[in-house]
Structure 1
C-alpha cells in the first residue's frame, strides 16, 4: 500500500458548484520524488474571489488551465504507475481535499482509484501525542505557500517525521 499525500486549492467550498483550481500529490516515501501537480480549468461559472485569491491565481489565469478530464486521466495513470498496492489518500484536511478529488474522479473518469477511505494528518498527530489541542505543522520542512504540490510535500515530510519520531506504522512503497 502506498500513502498518497494530496493538497487541493479551489475557488469555493464544494465540488460541482465550484472548481478545483490545482492539486498536488506525492507518494510518501523518503525521496518524495514521485509527484503529480496540475492546474485545472474551472468547471463552473461560480467562484468566490476570496477563495481563489488564496491560491494566488486570477480567474483569467484559471481559464487557461488544462481541461479537468485530461488532468484526472493523467492523475489516474500516475497513481497506477507510482504507487505500490492499493493507494491510500491522506491530507492535512482530508474532508475538504478528498471531496474534490473524489468528485472529479467520478465525474470525469467514472471511478476513484484512491478509493473511499482517507486519513487526516492532523488527527494522526493528535492521537500519537494524545493531545487534541496540538498541531503537527511544526514538523514540516517545506513551508506552506498554497502551491498545492509544495504544501503536499510539507505534509508528507511531517508524516515521515511521525514515522521516524513516534513510530507510526505506515507503508513507504
Structure 2
C-alpha cells in the first residue's frame, strides 16, 4: 500500500459550486521526494475572495491555470506510476480535501484511483495518543504555508514521526 498525503486549496466551500484551484501530493516515504502539484482553472463563476486569498492567488491568476481534466488525468497517471497496490488517500482535513479530489476525479475522468475511502491524519494521531483533545501539527518540520506541496510535506513528516518515534504500525511502500 502506498500512502499519498494530499492537500487542496479552493476558492469556496464545496466542489462544483466552487473550484479547487490547486493541490499537492507526496508519496509518504522517508525522503518525501516524490511530489505532484496541480493548478486548476476555475470551473465555476462563483468564488469567495476570502477563500481564494488563503492560496495567495488572485482570481485573474487562476483563470490562467491548467485545464482541470488534464490535471486530473496527469494526477491519475502519477499515482499509477508511483504507487504499489491500492493507493491510500490521507490528509490533514480529509473531509474537505477528499470531497474536492473525489469529485474532480469522478467528474473529469470518471473514476477515482483512491477508491471510496480516505484517512484523516488528525484522527490517526488522536487514536495513537488516546486523546481526542490533542493536535499533531507540532510534529511538522516544514512550515505550513498554504502552498499545497509545503503543506503535504509537513503533514507527511508528522506521519513519519508517528511511525518512527511513536511506534505507529503502518506499511509505507
**Which category of TM-score, normalised to the shorter sequence, fits these structures?**
over 0.9
Gaps of 5+ in 1: none
Deviation at 1:34, TM superposition (A): 1.1
Residue 26 of structure 2 aligns with which residue?
26
Measured in 2, the distance between the counterparts of 1:74 and 1:136 equals 31
Residue 14 of structure 2 aligns with which residue?
14
Measured in 2, the distance between the counterparts of 1:151 and 1:170 equals 21
Alignment of 1:110-149 (within 5 A): 110-149=110-149
Tell me the TM-score normalised to structure 2 length: 0.99
Measured in 2, the distance between the counterparts of 1:48 and 1:2 equals 34
Deviation at 1:170, TM superposition (A): 1.6
Residue 79 of structure 1 aligns with which residue?
79
- Tell me if 1:166 matches 2:166: yes
Deviation at 1:31, TM superposition (A): 1.0
Corresponding residue SS for 2:116: coil
Residues 105-135 of structure 1: CA deviation (Å, up to 9, x unaligned): 0000000001111111001111111111111
- Tell me if 1:53 matches 2:53: yes
CA RMSD of aligned residues (A): 0.6
Corresponding residue SS for 1:77: helix
